[in-house]
Amino acid sequence: MRLKNFPEEVVFDLSDCERAQLTSWAQDVAQENISNPGLYRHGDVLKAVRKLDGPSFDAMRRFAESSNDYGTLLLRNVPIDTSLPPTPHDGRRPDNMPYLSESVGALLGCLLGDIFSYGDEKEGLLIQNICPVFGQENLQENTGSVFLEFHTEDSFHPFPPDYLILMCLRGDRTGQAITATASLGRVIGSLDEEVIETLAGPNYIIRSSSSFGASKYRRRTAIIGDPQQGRGLVFDLNGMEALSDVAEQAMQRLRQALEREAYGICLTPGDAIIIDNNKSCHARTGFRPYYDGRDRWLQRIFISRDFARMQDMLVPGTRMIDPEKSRELVA
């Protein structure tokens, strides 16, 4: 797969003034653990977000409202902690996690909408830690290090995120781990009518990934939805099964088209890639983990643009979806 560089129009370097605002507000909203869904104070974060002023923040607000052709925005120069603990070997939040990147992650997330988490994944944390985990190299999961196939995030779930942020705290030293995105809008014109028709029918089963533990989500779906209904693309090469040969061929045609029109970057500290999960799928090329505390480390934030719709699903007083309630929906 040959990846193109992201075009200039989707890349925003935070100015010194924008960095200073984020750093200052991050101090104001910092808590011992802002990532804990029971402790997170949304009112404080929202108050700060409303005051963020600058072209990169405006670009994020526009992206949240109307996205873009690439379904992707790349922020650079985002303030993160300069002194980090070792990359967690188990993908869990370190007890001595400093505040800056998590607080900045919450601020950026709230610029786009409402941040939330799933109780059955990553301990329900609002800011999740993405690192290679020993023994899980071959998994098609955020903990693996083999090529992670193109997928939209958590599309098996009744409430997938509308946007996600992947913020880099520590890059892959070998430069091999390329984070890639590809948007449906840029490839649909290259597909035959019959292929589009097959992709738009309920011809696929999508299943949950193992990162959701005992929760088993499974549903029948189309791959291409109605953008007017807010969901354009449901795609997961690894977690999806075609219900006929024709459906399988259509899915492979789409895969080929997406791979031809994929953009990528090896994230370095202070990069934050923002993905429109309704338009774009993402992947990560394979890399070698060393498990020496200096491996690649990202933080991930999920955002909903229709938070009111998931209110009844949340553990009361939190922004975390209650697994028991979401499992009932798919039982």
CB of 60 to Fe ion, least distance (A): 20
| Closer Cβ to Fe ion, 79 or 91, answer by number | 91
CB of 153 to Fe ion, least distance (A): 5
| Closer Cβ to Fe ion, 127 or 195, answer by number | 127
CB of 14 to Fe ion, least distance (A): 24
CB of 300 to Fe ion, least distance (A): 8
CB of 161 to Fe ion, least distance (A): 10
User: Binding to Fe ion (CB under 5 A): which residues in 91-110?
Assistant: none
User: Measured in whole angstroms, how far is the alpha carbon of residue 172 from the centre of its chain?
Assistant: 18
User: Measured in whole angstroms, how far is the alpha carbon of residue 123 from the centre of its chain?
Assistant: 17
Characterize the bridge pairing of strands 72-76 and 204-207: unpaired
Collect all residues with Cβ–Cβ distance below 8 Å to 147 and sequence separation of at least 6: 283, 284, 285, 286
Length of the chain: 331
Q: Which amino acid is at 329?
A: L
| Closer Cβ to Fe ion, 236 or 295, answer by number | 236
| Closer Cβ to Fe ion, 120 or 153, answer by number | 153
Phi, psi of 188, deg, nearest 5: -60, -30
| Closer Cβ to Fe ion, 121 or 153, answer by number | 153
CB of 220 to Fe ion, least distance (A): 22
Please identify, among the stretches 92-100, 146-154, 184-192, 261-269, the one whose residues bind Fe ion according to the rule CB under 5 A. Answer: 146-154
Count of residues of this chain found to bind Fe ion when the rule CB under 5 A is applied? 1
Q: What is the DSSP string of 200-225?
A: TSS-EEEE--GGGTT---EEEE-SB-
Does residue 188 contact residue 227 with C-beta atoms inside 8 Å? no
What mask of x and - would describe binding to Fe ion in positions 111 to 140, judged by CB under 5 A? ------------------------------
Residue 33 DSSP class: T
User: Binding to Fe ion (CB under 5 A): which residues in 147-166?
Assistant: 153
Decide: helix, strand or coil at residue 267. coil
CB of 282 to Fe ion, least distance (A): 6
For the record, the structure tokens of 198 come out as 């097959």
| Closer Cβ to Fe ion, 153 or 271, answer by number | 153
Please identify, among the stretches 95-103, 145-153, 209-217, 261-269, the one whose residues bind Fe ion according to the rule CB under 5 A. Answer: 145-153
Residue 10: Cβ within 10 Å count: 20
| Distance of alpha carbon 257 from alpha carbon 188, whole angstroms | 8
**Look-up of token digits 């520590």:** 170
User: Binding to Fe ion (CB under 5 A): which residues in 248-267?
Assistant: none
| Closer Cβ to Fe ion, 153 or 276, answer by number | 153
Output the residue with the shortest Cβ distance to Fe ion. Answer: 153
CB of 283 to Fe ion, least distance (A): 8
Q: Residue 33: which of 104, 127, 122 has the closest Cα?
A: 127
**Look-up of token digits 């104001």:** 28
Q: Which residues bind Fe ion (CB under 5 A)?
A: 153
